[in-house]
Amino acid sequence: MAVRPVDHLLTMGGADHPALAGKAGAMSYAELDRAVGRLATWLAKQAFPAGARVASWVAKGRLAVLMPLAAPRAGLVHVPVNPLLKHAQVAHILADSGALLLIATQSRLAAFGAGDVPEGCAVLPEAEVIAAMEAYEPLPPSDADPASLAAILYTSGSTGKPKGVMLSHANLWLGAVSVADYLRLTPQDRVLAVLPFSFDYGQNQLFSTWAAGGTVVPLDYLTARDVVKAVEREEITTLAGVPPLWVQLVETDWPEATAARMRRITNSGGALTTALVHKLRALFPNADIYPMYGLTEAFRSTYLPPELVASHPESMGRAIPHAEILICRPDGSIADDGEPGELVHCGPLVAMGYWNDPVRTAERFRPAPPSSSYDGRAVWSGDTVRREADGLLYFVGRADAMIKSAGNRISPTEIEEVAQGVAGVAEAVAIGVPDNRLGQAVLLLVRIDKGGDAEAIEASLRHHLKVELPNFMMPREIHRVEAFPRNPNGKIDRVRLAADHGNETRR
């Protein structure tokens, strides 16, 4: 298919059809395109050099929706900053990206110290920019090279300081049309966008909905109840989330008619457990469930078709459109069915690399395996996956998350899935802790369902683990927690858990 500059996405919907709804303001596709054009003109008038980076640090108001398309339309590179980040992390992103402009809400700017903004980076309040852009005629859709840089999305920094993933117009365009296609989105769909737009999964909610001609309803929420109310108020048909959000939502009371209206729920940022899939199917009886696996470095890799969720709830599925997914041995050869190997993502969704970081780029973005249908670089994910004879993929674990105990390599995911299969266990995280004898011992952290008999549930859990797990995978200890810490994208913060719970040596 023809690949176009990403700001052309707004031509995919009917001019008078609603493209945006909710508290960000109702706008048709024609109105939204004009607003993007006005902001692009204002940005162009700032006389930044072509390809300059411009950052936004805002909640999900009008600017947050316009900037991802307005900046590339003006020949600039957008750097969205997660609203939940603190000033030190934002200062790092501004300095690392070399941003020449930061647009932020007044309250966020007030939290900045004098030394937080790099020299040469202008800072403007969001309200001032929104007011100023209205004076300009709209810039028409761009003629940018689809291979050129359009955005830099910074990871949450779970393994150190955030690193910027460079995305081209083509990366963003193909990601949008791919997701719109396999989710079977239509102009009648109304998508509640609850994830941060600085998160590739969150930003794609905008782009894929617009590629299908549907309506986006952005939402900043504080509680799961806020999401339920928005689904009811805005007649939402589609909701995307990460596992911790789904855990909260299935624990929340839903009006039966509201839950029945849902047609589609999608998950990425972590695997759905079998128990959680069953709860989602019961709560949303008319919704298709789409488990998905993605990498910021290649956007999205696999999805499991809804018709296979009941029979293969633990599978990652198969490659999405425009992606080639290979399971490789260390030498690059293709692993046999049932043999664990590294997931390697090839094809046009592979990002351009890490901004200003050739060393880490060379580590992750390496030549595609000889068996690939694509030339050039592939993303070597570091994730261990196996392919079964039917072609479905199954996640085994991350190389840097594997627990090494008495010479065994243990997947935390396998332990967590067994634990979460016990009635009353809402969430579980397995980590490795230092052990003088084993090297590492398994520590299992669990959150018990509200109102559950914690002692009885833990006893049932211990029995279930003994039945289902080999001895070398058995947790040395089980600790109950009231809540798990989250990173800015809503995922469980495993690095913090390891720091908080993994320093005491076991004997």
Per-residue pLDDT reduced to its tens digit, 181-197: 999 999 999 999 999 99
For the chain, percent of residues with pLDDT exceeding 90: 73
Read off the pLDDT of residues 261-280 as tens digits, 9 standing for 90 and up: 999 999 987 778 888 899 99
Q: For the chain, give the percent of residues with pLDDT over 70.
A: 96
**Angstrom distance (rounded) from CA 75 to CA 344:** 32
Q: Which amino acid is at 408?
A: N
Angstrom distance (rounded) from CA 180 to CA 459: 45
Phi, psi of 313, deg, nearest 5:
-65, -20
Judged against a pLDDT cut of 50, whether residue 439 lies above it is answered with yes
Q: What is the pLDDT of residues 147-170, one digit of tens each?
A: 999 999 998 543 456 789 999 999
Nearest to 210 by CA among 66, 72, 63: 66
Q: What is the spatial distance between Cα 133 and Cα 65, in angstroms, rounded to a whole number?
A: 14
- The end-to-end CA distance of the chain, in Å, is 60
Average of pLDDT values for 97-102?
A: 97
Cα distance between residue 322 and residue 63, in whole Å? 30
Does the pLDDT at position 256 exceed 80?
Answer: yes
Mean pLDDT across 79-83: 93
pLDDT band, very low/low/confident/very high, at 18 (cuts 50, 70, 90): very high
Placement of tokens 């008038």 in the chain: 45
Q: What is the residue whose two structure tokens read 């994830």?
A: 195
SS3 per-residue string spanning 283-300: HCCCCEEEEEECCCCCCC
Write down the pLDDT at residue 507.
Answer: 44
Do 409 and 384 form a contact (C-beta atoms < 8 A)? Answer: no
Q: Which of 201, 309, 279, 191 is nearest to 239 (CA)?
A: 191
Which residue has 């999608």 as its token pair? 266
Average confidence (pLDDT) over 141-151: 97
| pLDDT single digits (tens) 390-411 | 999 998 877 667 787 866 668 7
The 10 Å CB-count burial string (b at 16+, else e) for 190-226 is bbbbbbbbbbbbbbbbbbbbbbbbbbbbbbeeeebee
Question: Which whole number is the average pLDDT over 53-66?
Answer: 96
| Residue 294, token pair as written in the block | 């993605």
pLDDT tens string 202-234: 999 999 999 999 999 999 998 999 999 999 999
User: How do residues 355-371 score in pLDDT, each as one tens digit?
Assistant: 999 999 999 999 999 99
E strands in 82-232: 101-104, 122-125, 149-154, 164-168, 190-193, 215-218
- What integer pLDDT is reported at residue 504 of this predicted model? 54
Q: Look at residue 156 in the predicted model and tell me its pLDDT.
A: 57
Helix spans in 439-478 (H): 454-468
Other residues' Cβ atoms within 10 Å of the Cβ of residue 402: 18
pTM recorded for the entire structure: 0.84
Q: What domains can you pick out in the chain, each with its CATH number?
A: 6-220 (3.40.50.980), 317-397 (2.30.38.10), 401-501 (3.30.300.30)
- Using CB atoms within 10 Å of the CB of residue 271, give its burial: 0 to 12 exposed, 13 to 18 middle, 19+ buried: buried
Q: Is 102:57 a contact under the CB 8 Å cutoff? A: yes
Amino acid at 68: P
DSSP state of 317: B
> Are the C-beta atoms of residues 443 and 502 closer than 8 Å to each other?
yes
Tokens standing for 291?
């488990």
Residue 409: predicted pLDDT:
65
Q: In what order do the strands lie in the sheet with 264-267?
A: 27-28, 18-20, 215-218, 190-193, 238-241, 264-267, 288-293, 302-303, 318-319
Max mean pLDDT among 72-81, 289-298, 445-454 falls in 72-81
